[in-house]
Amino acid sequence: MLPLLNSAAEAIGNTPLVRLDRITSSLGLEGTIVAKLDYLNPGGSKKDRVALGIIEEAERLGTLKPGQPVVELTSGNTGTGLSIVCAVKGYPFIAVMSRGNSVERARMMSALGAKVILVDQMPGSIPGQVSGSDLKLVEEKAKELEISRGAFRADQFLRDGNWMAHFDGTGAEIWEQTNGYLDGFVDFVGSGGTYAGVSRKLKAMNPALKCFIVEPDGAAVLANKEVSQPEHPIQGGGYMMPDLVYLKDSAVAVDGYLQVSGDQAREGARLLAGKEGVFGGFSSGANLSAAIDLLKGEMKGKTIAIMICDSGLKYLSTDLWA
């Protein structure tokens, strides 16, 4: 029986891991894909872990004062997690997000008590397809608010609480839930914290285990590919940011880089929903597509873990479920 918890923040983590045998069998694949259902976190994404990790790290270090405002740029998921954690702990939270992200995210953060600041996209940008240039405008606004409000900047791209939440939590959980019978891990990279934390934990347990970074086709700067399509529908990552701090650490190993198109991500998300009853978003579909490609190739017959990064409910206004 599950224990009685003191807050929603205590419900973050310890999410289920499920086999996707209906998908692999329908495609005639040799091997196994297991999915970490982080969309079942209270805020509907894996970023709840990051939010809790960053705030608790700041409390330990004394860099976040009681009642101090917290500000962060977000595509919506980290912001939702911070909305929950800050509400529970008594910190006012200001979320700064591009208007190009799905409207459900802004509404959810507002409902959870956050002050949401929406930043217009660059001229010519496509709604629903946030580029690196759009994100720079959001970053400028977040810095301005940090100074003017005397706020603590959560800074998911720099704070160690991000990757550590996935090292101590997500990665450890995946290893325990598979009893160590695991050959690979793939994840679509946003801030890089999930990949860095999970891969470091899994490789500490089994150095032979292979870990792969997933990026959008046409915007795969981590793989040193030429950028041909900076706009893409896979929200939360692929912003063409080569200097992701967590991935620069020598302890983070990358066994390969995989590219997934927007269409492949859509197909993957729809396959997850229709075959397995797993209602994820674009990045979850991208992870599934990448794992399928691996089982068709170099990882044939192996067991691969993927993240179900966030809920499909956050994309009802997009073409994902049209």
Neighbour-count burial of 175, counting CB atoms closer than 10 A to its CB (0-12 exposed, 13-18 middle, 19+ buried):
buried
102 is catalytic: no
* DSSP state letters, 252-269: ----EEEEE-HHHHHHHH
Which residue in the block uniquely carries the two structure tokens 């479920």? Answer: 321
Whether residue 68 contacts residue 151, with contact meaning beta carbons closer than 8 Å, is answered with yes
Assigned token pair, 80: 């939702």
What's the rounded Cα separation, in Å, for the pair 51 and 166? Answer: 11
What's the rounded Cα separation, in Å, for the pair 282 and 79? Answer: 18
Assigned token pair, 93: 């939270």
What's the rounded Cα separation, in Å, for the pair 54 and 149? Answer: 19
What's the rounded Cα separation, in Å, for the pair 319 and 316? Answer: 8
Bridge partners, residue 184, by sequence = 210, 304
Neighbour-count burial of 136, counting CB atoms closer than 10 A to its CB (0-12 exposed, 13-18 middle, 19+ buried):
middle
What's the rounded Cα separation, in Å, for the pair 287 and 109? Answer: 25
What's the rounded Cα separation, in Å, for the pair 83 and 154? Answer: 12
Distances (CA, A) of 87 to 84, 225, 316: 5, 41, 26
Q: Which entry of 75, 283, 289, 311 is annotated as an active-site residue? A: 283
125 is catalytic: no
The helix-helix angle for 262-276 and 282-296 (nearest 10°) equals 90
Q: Which entry of 47, 141, 203, 302 is annotated as an active-site residue? A: 47
Bridge partners, residue 19, by sequence = 34
Query: What are the catalytic residues?
Result: 47, 283
